[in-house]
Every structure is written in C-alpha cells, then in structure tokens.
A and B are shown apart, each in its own frame.
Chain A
Amino acid sequence: MGMEGIGQRVVRKEDKRFITGKGKYTDDVKLVGMTHAHFVRSPHAHAKVVSIDSAAALAMPGVIAVLTGAELVADRIGNLICGWMVHSKDGSPMKMGAYPAMAPETVRYVGQAVAVVIAETKNQARDAAEAVAVEYEELPAATTVAAALAPDAPQLHPEAAGNRVYEWSIGDKAATEAAFSGAAHVVSMDITNNRLVPNPMEPRSAVANYDSGDDALTLWTTSQNPHVARLVLSAFYNIAPEHKLRVIAPDVGGGFGSKIYIYPEEIVCLWAARKVNRPIKWTSDRTEAFLTDAHGRDHISKAEMAFDADHKILGLRVHTYANFGAYMSLFSSSVPTYLYATLLSGQYVIPAIYAEVDGVYTNTVPVDAYRGAGRPEATYLLERMMETAARQFGLDPTDLRRKNFITSFPYQTPVIMTYDAGDYNASLDAALKAVDYAGFPARKAAAAARGKLRGIGFSCYIEACGIAPSKAVGSLGAGVGLWESAEVRVNPVGTVEVLTGSHSHGQGHETTFAQLISERLGIGIDQVSIVHGDTDKVQFGMGTYGSRSGAVGMSAIVKAMDKVEAKARKIAAHLMEAAEGDIVIEGGEFKVAGTDKKMPFALVALAAYTGHNLPDGMEPGLKEGAFYDPTNFTFPAGTYVCEVEIDADTGKTEVVNFVAADDFGRMINPMIVEGQVHGGLAQGIGQALLEGTVYSDDGQLMTASYMDYCMPRADDLPSFDLHHTTTLCPGNPLGIKGCGEAGAIGSPPAVINAITDAIGHNDMSMPATPAKVWAAIHGRAAAE
C-alpha cells in the first residue's frame, strides 16, 4: 500500500481551488450576452390563475420577455415526472396529478412559478417580476396529512381522489396479526418525523445557452446527476434530443438529495433560452430555496411492537402517512416505501413485519429524498420504540437491543432486504466503551449537583446504501437502472484520467478515486485526474446519492482498471519476453516474478501508444470502460450514543457527548469518511433539536429564511467522538459499504432518547426546542 493508496488519510486534491476562491459553481458562469431570469411565484397555497397581465413588466427597462405557463404548455414542454411507479396494495398504480414547470391554470403551493421574466440584469428581472399582474382566485388549502384526508378537504388533483396518491403495504399481514395475538407485551407509539429543508449552502442555479448554429443546448446546473438530468430533459420534457443537449454540473455546493431532481427552473431556462435566443442565468435566493427546493421527511406513524415474555420481538406493525406536498417529485414515491419500510427490521430479528404507507397530497412544497431518504425515518421509529420498550420493561436499553440483534448473516428480513454482513454487537461494544457507560450515573449525579438534567440515549441504526440491483429495482417500479459507469484512460506518458458517472458535490471523489488508482498502479494521486459532471465528457452515469459513489462508482472503476491492467500486463509480458502470469504490478513497476526484470508503468503506457512492439493482433492504446451493476445494497450499521444536559430553567439542551461507532466496511480515506459522518451528525442533531418546517394552516411557509428556520451552527454542536469497526461488504470488489448518510440516519433517535431519559417524560417530538423541553419538564402543554 502506497502513501496515497487505499486506507490513507490523504489531504484532498480538490481543496486548493476551494480555499483560494477558484472553485467554479454554476452562478460563477458568465456567458457573452447573458440575460437573467426571475420567476413570478404564487403567494397562495391553492388558487386558480385567472389572468396574467405582463404589459407593465414588458415596458420596463431591460425586459426581454415575460413567459407564462400557458405558453410553456402550448409549446408542448412536458410535465415533470415521477420516476418510480409504486402500486397500491389493491394493485392499482399510484394516482398522480399533472406537474407543469410553470402553472398554467392552478397553483398548489406557495412559491410555485406561474411566469418568468427575462431581462438584461438580475435587478431588472426582479423589478419587472413585481410588475407582472397575476389575478388569482383563492381556493381552500390543506397543508397537513390530517387536513388533506378530512372528508371535506380541498381536492388538489382530480386524478387523486381524497388526495391519496397510494395506499401501499409490505410484509405479511396475517403473520403479523398472529404475532400480536400471541404477545406477552405490546409497545405502541405515535411517531412524527418532522419536515426538513435540505439547505445546501449553494442555492440552486441554472445557466442555459442555445447555439442556433448547431441547434444545441447547454445547461450548467447544480445537479447531483447531470446524465439523468439530460436523459429526463430529453426523454420526457421535450427540451432537446439527448445528443443536442449538454449538461454540466460543475462544482456543486452541497446537495444532500435536494439536487438530485430536475426542477421547473432548469426546464424553463432551457426552453426560454431557445425562445429568446440568448443565454439565461437563474440563481435561487435563499427564500426561493426554502419555497422550492424539495423538502424531506414529513411522516406521521403509528407503530406497535409485540414481544414475548422473554422480551424477544415477535412482530412489528406500522402505519405511516407520508406528506408528499403538492406534486410528486422525481423519486418521491420510492422514499416512504422502498427506501423506508424495507429498513423497518433495523438490526433486529423481527419474525413478522407489516407496514402500510399512505401517500398524501397537500398544498406544500414537494417532498423528496433528503440525506438518508427513508432510512432516517425507519431508524427513528424503530430506535424510539426500542428505547421506549426497554423503559417499559425496566431493562437496560442496550440489553434489550443485544437480545434481539441479528447475529448470523446473510439474514433475510420479512421486508425484502437480505443483509449480507455485519457485527452489531461489535459496534455497540465500541460505542459503550468510548462513552464510558458505567460512569454515566456518576456524571448524571454531578450534573444534578450543578442543577442540570443529564440523559443518555442510544441508537443502533442500519442503512441500505448503493440502491441496487437494476433488475430488482426495475421490478419494483424504478424508471432507471442503478449501475454506474467508469472509463480509465491511460495517457502515453503514464498519467491517468478516470471518467466517472458519479458526481462529487463535496464528497472528495477527486481524491478518493485517485487513491484507488494509486493503489492499483503505484503512481501518485497527482498523476491522476478524475473527470465527472459533464455529459460531453463522460458517456453516462447515474450520479451521486444514497451513498453509492464508493460502493457502486468505485466498483465500476475497479472493473475498468481490471481491464486496463490485463492489457498492460500483456504488453509488459511481451516487451520483457515473460509469461503474462508472471507479471506483478508493484510500486508503479511491472516486474517479472522471480527475476530482476522490470519496467516502469509509464513505459508500458508509452508502448501501448507507440504501437511499435505490441503482441500480434493487439489494438494500440490503453483505455478501458466498464459498467458495474451491484448484486445487492450494502448495509452499513453502527451504534450512536448521545449524552445531553438540559437546563431545567430554560429547557435548552446541550449535547455534551456524542459517540459514533460505525461499520462502513473498507474505508478508502478515513479522514474523508469521518468528515462525512460529522456532517451527517450535524444534520441529524439539527433535525432533533433545531430544524422544523412550519406552514400556517392556509399554506404560508412560516420558516422561509435563516431567520426562522434554525440551522445548526458551530455553537449548537459538540465535537464528535468517532470510532470504527469493520466487516467488509462481500458484495463489491472493495468491500465498501457507504458512509454519507449514516450520521443523519443514526443521530436523531439517539438525541431524543437522551432528552426523554433526562426529563423522565417520553412525549417529545422533533425538534426538541427549548420551549417544548421546558414545557415537558414543567408539565405544561407544549408550545408548538
């Protein structure tokens, strides 16, 4: 293993441009003749668009065009699609209403675009948008599941009677009923998972350019998967044929799921750029981001768990209502179903599970995958249940978990998943040791002496990363395959370019992917470039989400590397007149085993390109590609322990200790892995303590800026204490499991379990704001 190979804490190659201000994000793109777009957005949650009068706006300085939803529809620009068909338990397909990129007739959430102004400058576009006179006829709105399912609720879409998108189920209902009828104990809880706004620090942005000479379009956009963007824009939205559309996702300032989807603004900018024949830039401001970026979570669940007399779990029954917002976003249908309910077995042997999920339309921003997507919701539900059950039984919460852990693999859960490998006791042991569980009572007493309430809470999470395989997800309704592609191009001088379909928006691929090449070829990571994010450079890819870049993306690179090495070996054997099987690659050299014959990799590369002396019949060059389709998800897991201190006078919770013990399989760069965990923990602790999206009953978003939506800041968080245990993933060549979402999945229940432990009161919902915690301590109705 070289200094920069697998397992090394190599500092990142990409950092230089970011720390010197040379990163190139979409809003940094400037084109000659570029114009600016500003959207006219609905102030109402639900209304008919009666008329749009653009005359005053068109007369304003710099204004080039005002385009409306009616014109968009007239130009046959397609409605936004949902890419995963989920069927209800009665077999009927989900019921979806039309989702136009700008609303021609009806708006269904505050912030939905009805028109766009194109002007010479951003300020001119903004000013003119104010002058577009839109007449609305307000309709009653429903912003919660309860309101949308009420008998007299307003109907959002004619296609979805009762605002129900689907009534889905998974598991064995009869077996689960039987488990409950034979149970010694049943634990029941109502559990809400609060709606979140992803809030990557870089607001979404799109720059669209139309080249009338080539009749081709280019889109720079803040996307986690530019190829899927191009595919969908071409195949469904009628923007341009795929070969006439180039999508570039340059440096992207965080995504967390919210930049997976194709958004109306990208469609409109491309369409409008052709119409006005000028380049167009649109960049969201932060309030626009709150109003239009896909939100996350928003589940209301009733959960019941059956135990035998020995506290072994017999069964789990869950009914969840998922608030989808006003329209179905690109992957939204799969989040509360195949990404959530399939993880409801957690780390436990649960012989029977039955889960029902009702998807519901409301007059709110569309909801889709956000960091963890479904797994945080499953983990929160299960781990709140386990802690609550332990308290009801008077057991130590870690003992109850151990008693029910899955300990032999592979393990088939009752809800589709086959866990391939894991050691849940090992991560629990590591976490308990790190947190000094035995010393907790003394720390609690010391805190009490200082007038503070101290509590400890646990969470044993599992996640499913690298969603796969394509055949399986296809049979479950997915509209895309979930493989990844890679191409390894060795240059004649021995430097290497890796073209990957994965996309980095902070994950450090330029470093970790290069570390893989360094490990294989023994060359420095400076000799390797990682090329991604441009559909004109990389042939195809599925992008980055669901912690798939390591497990799936790097596996594709391994496959391409295998081919490169096989050919290079043949060349080296030929040049050194040795048997191919005797060639070993070591420290950047090709050696003939058992002899002192060797040649540097760079000379093998050069020979491939000079073509002067290659084996008979061999094509010159050294460049190979591969597609990798995984055989299964990977299953990272771990134990998180949170210790809090609460000020009873103010209700303020301080996280005084947070221990994470994770099993991510093989780690390419532990420094980067730990950074991913830190970020996930901050988002999960943010969900537990601070973040919550609030709509008024009539559908106004009350938390539409950083003044109102409480983002975790440095002062709100502790330093984290991270530990690792390792079982390799048997399903991919590197043994990688994935780490990007663990922190956000595992931490919320640990925090809430710690708070409820501290206050001795189990009724606490997220976010556990000081007002709510104070009310719980002092026995007052919570100030919601």
Chain B
Amino acid sequence: MTTVSMTVNGRQVSADVEDRTLLVDYLRNAINLTGTHVGCDTSQCGACVVHVDGRAVKSCTMLAVQASGSAVTTIEGLATGDELHPVQAAFREHHGLQCGFCTPGMIMTAVDMIRRHGGQLDEATVRHELEGNICRCTGYHNIVKAILDAAAKMQMPAAAE
C-alpha cells in the first residue's frame, strides 16, 4: 500500500492504494469519481480519458502512483459550476451521445484536441485524432460535428456572437 496524493478537479485528494492500482481505478474507487469509465483492458477504447497536467491521458494506461503530485481533471471537473464547458454543450446540442458511456472520454479527448489545434480543426483531423476513442452508438457523425462546432465557438470571442 502506498499513499497516493494528487489534485483532482482542483481538490487535493489522498488515498492508500496498492502499487498496481491504475489511475482510473484510483479515480473511480478510491476517490469515488465514477464519471471516468472503463471500456476495455487494452488501452484501445478511450472511455477512461482524463487530463493529467493539462494533457489527455488514458487513465487505464497509467498507475495512480505515476500521477502522484499531478493535477488531474476528470469529466466531473470540466464544467464551471452550472455552466457547461463548450465541448459538453456542443455534444448535447449536436446529439453527440446516446448511451453516454464513451462520452466522458470523448469529451476529454475533444477538449485536448481543440487545445492543441485551436480553430485549425477540420473533419479529417478530428476523425483521425478520435482514433483512440471508440463509440458503438453514434457512428461518430454527430461527435465530429460537435467537436468542430465547439472548436469554432471556442475560437470566437463571445462578443462576436
């Protein structure tokens, strides 16, 4: 057992876990943040994507101890109070989710994608960069639309709307 501490969604957390505990299990079971999901055991599906120090990471690929001391953001920490993050709002607006299981990982991947590309996103880039996230429900059509729309809106100052 090791005490693993980190900042999750701006809150300092600490828990004793086995050394082999994955970050996703730490978040789901030790910290009780169940928004981050597990969809596979081979780091293929992306249901578990969170941000570690601002970058998208598959939390099933990282040990909790490796994230010790980091700042982690999960889907629960993305909105500001009642105000949805623009990517969250765009997923709703464009019906980019059905069962919602892949959705937290999709949104966290999308936020990082937009951060890296800014407004330079086009459909081909979005589809290519979504390769690490599997959705079985939506056929991706509306997810792609949502990400492109959010990217455009996040570039645009609110005053211009």
**Known interface pairs A19-B88, A506-B137; A713-B36 also in contact (CB < 8 Å):** no
A505: B residues at CB distance < 8 A:
99
B123: A residues at CB distance < 8 A:
719
B40: A residues at CB distance < 8 A:
285-286, 705-706
A671 touches B (CB below 8 Å): yes
B117 touches A (CB below 8 Å): no
B45: A residues at CB distance < 8 A:
201, 286, 706
Asked if residues A715 and B34 are in contact (CB atoms below 8 Å), the reply is no
A11 touches B (CB below 8 Å): yes
Chain B nearest Cβ from A274, distance in angstroms? 25
Q: Besides A19-B97, A22-B76, 16 other CB < 8 A contacts?
A: A15-B91, A18-B104, A123-B18, A202-B101, A203-B38, A286-B41, A506-B100, A671-B95, A679-B137, A681-B139, A683-B136, A706-B40, A706-B42, A711-B134, A714-B140, A715-B131
Q: Which of B20, B76, B136, B140 contacts A123 (CB 8 A)?
A: B20
Asked if residues A714 and B143 are in contact (CB atoms below 8 Å), the reply is yes
Closest to A25 in B: B101
A767 touches B (CB below 8 Å): no
A397 touches B (CB below 8 Å): no
| Chain A contact residues, CB within 8 Å of chain B | 11-12, 14-25, 27-28, 30, 123, 199-203, 251-254, 256, 283, 285-287, 505-508, 671-672, 674-676, 678-683, 705-707, 711, 713-715, 717, 719-720, 743
B70 touches A (CB below 8 Å): no
Asked if residues B84 and A20 are in contact (CB atoms below 8 Å), the reply is yes
In the assembly, what is the distance between CA of A11 and CA of B91, in Å? 10
Chain B nearest Cβ from A706, distance in angstroms? 4
Asked if residues B134 and A18 are in contact (CB atoms below 8 Å), the reply is no
> By the criterion of a CB under 8 Å from any partner CB, how many residues of chain B are at the interface?
55
B-side binding surface: helix, strand, loop or mixed? Answer: loop
Asked if residues A23 and B100 are in contact (CB atoms below 8 Å), the reply is yes
Within B115-161, the residues touching A (CB, 8 Å) are 123, 126-128, 130-131, 133-144
Q: Which of B39, B84, B91, B139 contacts A717 (CB 8 A)?
A: B139
A286: B residues at CB distance < 8 A:
39-42, 45
Closest to A681 in B: B139
In the assembly, what is the distance between CA of A706 and CA of B48, in Å? 15
Asked if residues A679 and B139 are in contact (CB atoms below 8 Å), the reply is yes
In the assembly, what is the distance between CA of A113 and CA of B136, in Å? 27
A678: B residues at CB distance < 8 A:
138-142
B33: A residues at CB distance < 8 A:
21
In the assembly, what is the distance between CA of A672 and CA of B142, in Å? 11
B34: A residues at CB distance < 8 A:
21, 24-25, 27-28
In the assembly, what is the distance between CA of A642 and CA of B28, in Å? 42
**Known interface pairs A18-B97, A202-B99, A202-B101; A256-B39 also in contact (CB < 8 Å):** no
In the assembly, what is the distance between CA of A164 and CA of B20, in Å? 48
Interface string of B15-51 (1 = CB under 8 A from A): 0001010000000100011111111111011010000
In the assembly, what is the distance between CA of A202 and CA of B138, in Å? 14
Closest to A706 in B: B44
B75 touches A (CB below 8 Å): yes
Closest to B97 in A: A18
Asked if residues A254 and B136 are in contact (CB atoms below 8 Å), the reply is yes
B57 touches A (CB below 8 Å): no
Residue of A21, A30, A682, A705 most packed against chain B (CB within 10 A):
A21
Interface string of B85-101 (1 = CB under 8 A from A): 00010011101011111
In the assembly, what is the distance between CA of A12 and CA of B91, in Å? 11
Selected A-B contacts with CB under 8 Å, 13 pairs: A18-B97, A20-B79, A21-B34, A27-B34, A30-B32, A199-B136, A251-B100, A254-B137, A682-B138, A713-B134, A714-B128, A714-B130, A717-B139
A705: B residues at CB distance < 8 A:
40-42, 44
Chain B nearest Cβ from A20, distance in angstroms? 6
B97: A residues at CB distance < 8 A:
15, 18-19
In the assembly, what is the distance between CA of A147 and CA of B89, in Å? 53
B103 touches A (CB below 8 Å): yes
Asked if residues A19 and B107 are in contact (CB atoms below 8 Å), the reply is yes
Chain A nearest Cβ from B122, distance in angstroms? 12
Q: Which of B38, B47, B76, B136 contacts A20 (CB 8 A)?
A: B76
